Amino acid sequence: MKTKLLTLLAASFIAACTSTQVVTDHKYPPVPVGSVQVLYQEPQRPYETIAFMHRLSGIEHPTTGDVATLREDAARLGADAVIVTNTHGMTFYQYAEASVKAIKWTHK
């Protein structure tokens, strides 16, 4: 019983969780992951926000891996870029996490 409890505890410690909140009615076809830009500040170019995405993970995923995973998820939504809004690595009291805004360029 003790072994099962430790296994469950360890699995929850290293597990990752991603949430996506789509905020547009438009449906875009998926794009190649390599075409999705990673931005760390608001662009000057006009855009539409497709989704807000958040990833919380344990020790197996550094923050850079979280952003890469969110980039892959954004590519499936047809995003042209993700704007990184928050990242921090794992600490003794907190899981690693990353938040991005998935966007699509507009031609206005």
- Structure pTM? 0.74
End-to-end CA distance of the chain: 62
Residue positions counted in the chain: 108
18-68 tens-digit pLDDT: 889 999 999 999 999 999 999 999 999 999 999 999 987 765 555 456 888
CB proximity list for 48: less than 8 A, separation 6 or greater? 24, 26, 103, 104, 106
- CA nearest to 32, candidates 67, 83, 76, 82: 76
The residue segments making up the domain with residue 86 are 2-105
Domain tally for the chain? Answer: 1
Q: pLDDT tens digits, residue range 57-93?
A: 765 555 456 888 899 999 999 999 999 998 766 566 6
